[in-house]
Structure 1
Amino acid sequence: MLTIHQDNTNRVYCANPLALARGLQVGMLFSDARAFCPDLHSAPADPPADQRLLAGLRRWATRYCPWVGYEDNGLVMDVTGSAHLFGGEAPLCELLAARLARAGLAVQIGLADTRGAAWAMAHVGGGGIIPPGQALDVLGPLPVAGLRLDGATVTALQRLGIYTIAQLASAARAPLARRFGQGVLLRLDQALGAQPEQISPGTEPPHYAVRISLPEPIGHEADVMAATSRLLVQLCRKLTDNGVGARILHLVLRRVDQHDARIELRLARPMRDPARILPLFQRGVSAADAGFGIDQMRLIASVTEPLAPEQLGAGGSAKRDRIDDLITRIGTRIGIANIQRFVPRDTHIPEHGFALVPAAYSSPQSFPPPQNPRPLIIFPPEPLVADGPEPPPHFRWRGMSLQIARAIGPERIAPQWWSDDPAWRSGIRDYWRVETMQGRRLWLFYTPQAPGWCVQGEFA
């Protein structure tokens, strides 16, 4: 059984037939399920992984029919006109079940004239094929949950004494429509074929890759760059049509000896401008080994990100582009993640007021002006020999004897209880801005809970 965390509690996400036979239901509290079955074995669900598996199965299923779409936790296939290629509907279902079983997947396949009837057979009918024109005869004994109704509607119908699809089909339609709306009758008509229902096939994600085959092998750097320029124009046209920009590009050079030379380009920002991207390939192309010649080239955008249209002539855009290109050029040498910038953090702890983040994956931000002045230089606290909560008139620091001319404070800063910082475990600090007779402007603090003085910064 699989569980999922919803509404601040764990619920049953999926259960096998043995668990369902013992009274467990999808959606019930996990604590209630454990009360029913103390020896229950469970694991956390991973819906994103399920979706990736389902996407892979959809691509695999297109070998049997061209129209394959998603349906809850399964697939819906329109095999009209393609079942005869595999010997008929029954052999096709057997073939699908056998091949999925070899892959370790247990499935239930329902096949019918309508999408709703096939769904009912696969989910509550145990799988099988409904002969043409016999949908009501086969679906009649099945519960109304087989009509893709929500749980509240199924419960309300059961309270009225309607448990099966046959009972629902024989009930008066006008009272049902007044009580439940047209949704219940629409699902019934779709399952029985009275109302049409189309299948929307899943779309393949765009593949950002272009290729060029050369009539004669090339090896000169200028020729490779010229071919790369042609590839970039085609690739950037695809990126523009889909509103995205390339973040990581791979240029694959296939040599005549069937070996590949691969050039990776990591961009500081999503880009789709061929004129800007082409010079960034210069260093990689010059270092590539062409061997006895290159007869084929492929350009792949392996990682893309959405890129909104930009206003032409916007102020500062040219300067920003030059900075991004510089980050990309340096990143090809030392690694783009090693180029970092300072960004502000929302905290009152002095040494935590900024963070170092990769420049390629962040935007420049201005530091908000602090309520109280902060020193230009901050260093780890350096203890002083002094007593009392007031700044000492004389003290020694770094071998210098200093005398205080003016002191402003205190500014009390309390530690953040959610941050486990060893430097702040001692408690609160009272900060003072101190100007000395010798010209030094220092930042001192006093700790009342463990009496002592320290210097932590120096003003310009």
Structure 2
Amino acid sequence: MFDGTPQNQTRRIISLWFPRLASDRVLRMRAVAGPFALTLKEHNAERIYCLNLDALQAGLHRGMPFSDARAFCHELVSAEADLQADQRLLLTLRRWATRYCPWVGLEGRDGLTLDITGAAHLVGGESALVADIRGRLMRAGFSAVVGLGDTRGAAWALARHGEGVAEVGKPLEALATLPVAALRIDPKTDVALQRLGLRDIGALAASPRAPLARRFGADLLMRLDQALGVQPEQITPLVEPPHYAVRMTLPEPIGRSDDVMAGTQRLLTRLCAKLAANGMGVRVLHLTLRRVDKDAQEVELRLARPLQDAARILPLFERGVGEVDAGFGIDQLRLSAAAVESLPVQQLNHEASSGKDRLDDLITRIGTRIGLENVQRFLPADSHIPERSFIIAAAAFSKSAGAWVATQPRPLRLFPPEGIAGQGPHPPQRFRWRRMALTTGRAMGPERIMPEWWLEDERWRAGLRDYWRIDTREGRRLWMFYTPQSPAWFVQGEFA
């Protein structure tokens, strides 16, 4: 199988290691004079995760308990580690490294692997390429170690156990004096080899293979063969995410809304085809209209649900396009998807989905005028307390709960409790509420609701409530409750 390497050309691999990636990320934004370390909680203990050069020189090391580090170095400045931010930075560096070659992959949480085969001559050779990498990273504030060899294993070993460059076709000469840990083996195997007197790769390579295989298994010899080039090891570069943006440059400026909508339709068709090919739907669209005076007008469209249907999206642009000031004319249109979501695979059924689609389109149209966050719906909440039995959420960013399930009937209208005159645990026969004299016709209950003692709510921590459904002779159907701990009656809701 062809792997992209020209015939009769030795592969050349660079391992780029950032020993202080996390601390460099923080210090680039906020410089600290003196020892600095990032901490991470591991096994219920705060430990040093990453530290700068000053902290290393002060005797601190990675994995050291933070309490011991503070006692040992009183001037230590610390902060909490952010692993997600470190990963985002490494992905950014990976994309930057594609300036040297197209094949760039991740190496753990603090390294990159570059396949520069056939690319070094573009910058003046391998020495110039390595010097350029070091110089650019140093100016950007990153500590980086570069290893270059014929194999991924050799480059990794040189980067982490003795920065250097291995000559073409001579990996063993460059690796012979490095410790056996440079072969990417587990710590237990490393300790066992050192006890046998095999402390460097040269001694390991000169030892009989059969006894090593019997004692340590095939993994040790596989790592040795990968480093020396006897067994191939592939580099898997990260695939660039799809870029959901299309543009159109016009030979003559346009200014009419109909012409802009026609151009938007063409862009939407291309963009939605790319979305459909990747099983994605768009939630936020940006239509940028560049005028001939180099000014730009932007129309933002936020959808109530992810879509990839150009025919449904296009009419939603009409209001925004109609408000655009075309000036002396528009000569370029650019349409980009600012937010996309994956669409689940589903069986197409026009009759079943038409109602929901129309509702989503209506929410989108209203949302373009007042904001999608202001179009809201009620959703059930996991609580038997009436005031907490529902939440209010934006309809565009939440799913309908369907039919609400309640073990007991609940009123259509719910309001803060309003006190009425009444005595005893049974509903009063006659009472006044909101300046109306009412007479109890039928009473159903009680339904006892206990307070949620684990929540801090003074209204409910006082005690339980006995709820009654009251049908009055005057036609009012009320939801009332009685508080036994402090005898009183209240009205809290009204049924339809």
The TM-score with structure 1 as length reference comes to 0.90
Structural RMSD (CA): 2.7
Aligned to 2:452, the other structure's residue is in SS state coil
Superposition deviation, residue 131 in structure 1:
2.7
Of 155-164 and 409-418, deviating more is 155-164
Q: Which residue of 1 aligns with 2:218?
A: 182
CA distance in 1, matches of 2:442, 2:172: 94
Relative to structure 1, the CA distance from residue 434 to residue 275 in structure 2 (aligned partners, 3 Å threshold; closer, same or farther) is same
Question: Residues 368, 166 of structure 1: CA spacing in aligned structure 2 closer, same or farther, 3 A cutoff?
Answer: farther
Contact 2:452–2:461 (Cα < 8 Å) also in 1 = no
CA, structure 1 residues 444+8, in 2 after alignment: closer, same or farther (shift >3 Å)?
Answer: farther
Tell me what 1:124 maps to: 161
Distance in 2, matches of 1:418 and 1:5, equals: 29
Distance 1:82 1:25 in 2: 38
**Residue among 347, 354, 377 paired with 1:341:** 377
Deviations 1:51-88 (A, max 9, x none): 22122212221222222211111111112222233333
Deviation (angstroms), 1:305: 0.8
* 1:173 equivalent in structure 2: 209
| 1:92 aligns with one of 117, 120, 129 | 129
The alpha-carbon distance between structure 1 residues 401 and 220, as it changes in their structure 2 partners (threshold 3 A), is closer
Gaps of 5+ in 1: none
Asked whether the equivalents of residues 244 and 274 of structure 2 are also in contact (C-alpha less than 8 Å), the reply is yes
* CA deviation map 1:356-397 (0-9, x unaligned): 111111121124321122122211011233344444444332
C-alpha separation between the residues in 2 aligned to 1:33 and 1:183? 37
CA drift at 1:405 = 4.3
Determine whether 1:111 maps to 2:148. yes
Residue 58, structure 1, aligned to residue 94, structure 2: yes
Cα distance between partner residues in 1 of 2:431 and 2:214:
88
* C-alpha distance in 2 between matches for 1:17 and 1:172: 41
| 2:321 alignment partner AA | V
Instruction: Report the equivalent of 1:375.
Output: 411
Q: Distance in 1 between matches of 2:75 and 2:447?
A: 59
For the 8 Å contact 1:344–1:367, the answer to whether it is kept is: no
Aligned-residue offset at 1:9: 5.0
Do the aligned residues in 2 keep the contact of 1:254 with 1:297 (CA within 8 Å)?
yes
Residue 399 of structure 1 is aligned with which of 435, 441, 450? 435
Q: Which aligned pairs between 1:233-312 and structure 2 lie closer than 5 A? A: 233-312=269-348
- 1:221 is matched with 257
| Structure 1 counterpart of 2:39 | 3
Q: Is the Cα contact below 8 Å between 1:267 and 1:360 reproduced in 2?
A: yes
Change (3 A) 1:414 1:144: farther
Between 57-66 and 355-364, report the one with greater CA deviation. 57-66
Which secondary structure does the structure 2 equivalent of 1:366 belong to?
coil
Question: Aligned partners of 1:8 and 1:360: how far apart in 2?
Answer: 40
SS in 2 for 1:316: helix
What is the SS of the residue equivalent to 1:105? coil
Inter-partner Cα distance in structure 1 for 2:474 and 2:80:
66
Distance of 2:51 and 2:239 partners within structure 1: 30
Tell me how far apart the structure 1 counterparts of residues 168 and 194 of structure 2 sit (CA, whole Å).
Answer: 29
Aligned residues of 2:253 and 2:292 also touching (Cα < 8 A): yes
Mean Cα deviation higher: 100-109 or 433-442:
433-442
Letter in 2 for 1:324: D
SS of 2:431's equivalent?
strand
Q: Which SS does the other structure have where 2:301 is aligned?
A: strand
Q: State the alpha-carbon separation in 1 of the partners of residues 180 and 339 from structure 2.
A: 46
1:168: how far off? 3.6
* Aligned partner of residue 42 in structure 1, secondary structure: strand
Give the conservation status (yes or no) of the 8 Å contact 2:265–2:314. yes
* Residue of structure 2 aligned with 1:356, choices 392, 408, 411: 392
Alignment-derived partner of residue 144 in structure 1: 180
Q: What are the Cα deviations for residues 296-315 of structure 1, in whole angstroms up to 9, with x where unaligned?
A: 11111111111134322253
Checking the alignment, whether the CA contact within 8 Å between 1:344 and 1:366 is kept in structure 2 is no
Deviation at 1:267, TM superposition (A): 1.0
SS at match of 1:64: coil
How far off its partner does 1:150 sit? 3.7
The 8 Å contact of residues 135 and 191 in structure 1, kept in 2 or not, is answered as yes
Q: Are 2:93 and 1:77 equivalent residues in the alignment?
A: no
Separation of aligned partners in 1, 2:215 and 2:448: 65
Which residue identity lines up with residue 420 of structure 2 in the other structure? L
Distance 1:413 1:255 in 2: 65
Take 2:209 and 2:74, find their aligned partners in 1: how far apart are those partners? 45
Q: Considering Cα pairs closer than 8 Å and 6+ residues apart, tell me whether 1 or 2 has the greater RCO.
A: 2
Structure 1 residue 135 displacement after superposition: 3.0
Which deviates more, 193-202 or 246-255?
Answer: 193-202
> How far apart are 1:38 and its partner, in Å?
6.4
Distance (Å, rounded) in 2 between the aligned partners of 1:84 and 1:433: 86
Q: Could you tell me which residue of structure 1 aligns to residue 29 of structure 2?
A: none
Shift in Å, 1:179: 4.3
Specify whether residues 332 and 413 from structure 1 end up closer, same or farther in structure 2 by C-alpha distance, changes over 3 A only: same
Secondary structure of residue in 2 paired with 1:111: strand
CA distance 1:434–1:98, shift in 2 (3 Å): same
Match of 2:82 in 1: 46
